[in-house]
């Protein structure tokens, strides 16, 4: 895959394309897409608390999230009093960006969070091992082209620079999407534009021809004339977000019991949201810190699955790709990637 650094950042963007809606959605898009290597280590701050659940001693835990719908079942469980009834001492903090969330994990201000599968390996190589304790949801992304590009099918992107962040879930989605469209890997050109907030403006100003986007952002651009070449349905089997937790927290007595109750809280939240999804839209806006403008045109609530472990094939697929690209030094074995409880 060829990598091309964009010159578009130095160009002036026409004001008519920098609408308030795009800015709000871009800021609040599903930012599991921005991943980087980590280093450093924080102190263990998990405190044990008594539980009404048999003789198990549960651990307190803080989970980090970005502005997305990935943790909605847990927010519902919290709001409905389910988490308290289970005896869990669990706090969820929403950060404005993936970078801030990862910084909190690095500093041990949060012990777990909504992570892309690739970030588990990156945390491990950065000196802060983590494991996935649960699959959350399919990654909801898309590949779009600009209105005047004339590109209406993914197969037309051979040799065309496509904007995305490097060494990320976005790049993996681009690779999988285009190779499945019949484009050889050597003809996939990555245009490195890490700033997700800039890409919608660059695309609609015809300064870039195509980009990988979170689905919420891509669908809004589609309503403004952009061409959606690859939809969230096309990529849902590629990879998933996971609930990842630092290994030092998981090594403590009571971790397995605590994770088991997080599963139970998730399952009860799933039952509630799947039965009446629209009734929880206001809660999602509140807990995920989403500006109401970002969903003004409507929001397609996903159907959530019961608690389960990440898919082995998905994990191995993305990690082997990252290893071939030189983004990680070794492929983590699935048994090391996933926490058994």
Going from N- to C-terminal start, the domains of the chain cover: 2-29+140-235, 48-137+240-337
pLDDT of the residue at 145 = 98
pLDDT of the residue at 95 = 87
Per-residue pLDDT of the chain (341 residues; tens, 9 = 90+): 655 544 343 343 343 333 434 443 443 443 344 433 333 333 444 444 444 445 569 999 999 998 888 999 999 999 999 999 999 999 999 988 778 899 999 999 999 999 989 999 999 999 999 999 999 988 888 999 999 999 999 999 999 999 998 888 889 999 999 999 999 999 999 999 988 778 889 999 999 999 998 887 888 889 889 999 999 889 988 999 999 999 999 999 999 999 999 999 999 999 999 999 999 999 998 998 876 655 666 677 889 999 999 999 999 999 999 999 999 999 999 999 999 87
Q: Do domains 2-29+140-235 and 48-137+240-337 have the same CATH topology?
A: yes
Chain centroid to Cα 39, Å, comes to 20
List strand residue ranges (DSSP E) for the chain, in order.
2-5, 48-49, 58-59, 61-65, 90-94, 112-116, 130-138, 141-145, 161-164, 189-192, 210-214, 227-230, 240-246
The answer to whether 310 and 242 have CB atoms below 8 angstroms apart is: yes
Tokens standing for 13? 């963007």
Q: What is the CATH number of domain 48-137+240-337?
A: 3.40.190.10
The answer to whether 169 and 138 have CB atoms below 8 angstroms apart is: no
Task: At 97, give phi and psi (nearest 5°).
Answer: -150, 165
pTM for the full predicted model:
0.76
Tokens standing for 186? 């050597």
Architecture of domain 2-29+140-235: 3-Layer(aba) Sandwich (3.40)
Chain centroid to Cα 83, Å, comes to 23
List strand residue ranges (DSSP E) for 98-159, in order.
112-116, 130-138, 141-145
């Amino acid at each position: 895959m060829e990598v091309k650094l964009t010159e578009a950042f130095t160009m002036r963007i026409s004001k008519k394309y920098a609408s308030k809606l795009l800015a709000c959605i871009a800021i609040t898009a599903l930012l599991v897409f921005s991943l980087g290597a980590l280093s450093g280590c924080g102190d263990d701050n998990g405190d044990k608390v008594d539980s009404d659940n048999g003789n198990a001693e549960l651990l307190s835990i803080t989970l980090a999230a970005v502005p997305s719908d990935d943790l909605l079942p847990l927010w519902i469980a919290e709001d409905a009093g389910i988490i308290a009834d289970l005896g869990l001492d669990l706090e969820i903090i929403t950060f404005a960006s993936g970078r801030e969330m990862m910084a909190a994990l690095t500093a041990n201000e949060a012990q777990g969070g909504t992570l892309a599968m690739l970030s588990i390996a990156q945390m491990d190589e950065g000196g802060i091992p983590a494991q996935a304790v649960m699959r959350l949801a399919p990654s909801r992304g898309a590949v779009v082209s600009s209105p005047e590009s004339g590109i209406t099918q993914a197969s037309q992107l051979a040799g065309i620079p496509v904007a995305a962040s490097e060494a990320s879930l976005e790049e993996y989605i681009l690779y999988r999407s285009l190779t499945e469209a019949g484009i050889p890997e050597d003809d996939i050109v990555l245009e490195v534009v890490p700033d997700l907030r800039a890409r919608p403006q660059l695309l609609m100003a015809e300064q870039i021809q195509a980009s990988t986007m979170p689905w919420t952002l891509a669908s809004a651009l589609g309503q403004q004339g952009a061409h959606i070449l690859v939809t969230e349905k096309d990529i849902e089997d590629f990879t998933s977000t996971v609930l990842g937790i630092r290994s030092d927290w998981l090594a403590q007595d009571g971790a397995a019991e605590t994770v088991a109750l997080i599963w139970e809280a998730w399952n009860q939240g799933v039952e509630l949201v799947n039965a009446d999804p629209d009734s929880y839209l206001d809660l999602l806006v509140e807990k995920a810190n989403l500006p109401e403008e970002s969903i003004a045109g409507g929001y397609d609530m996903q159907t959530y699955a019961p608690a389960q472990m990440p898919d082995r094939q998905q994990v191995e697929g993305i990690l082997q790709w990252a290893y071939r690209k030189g983004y990680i030094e070794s492929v983590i074995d699935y048994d090391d990637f996933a926490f058994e409880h």
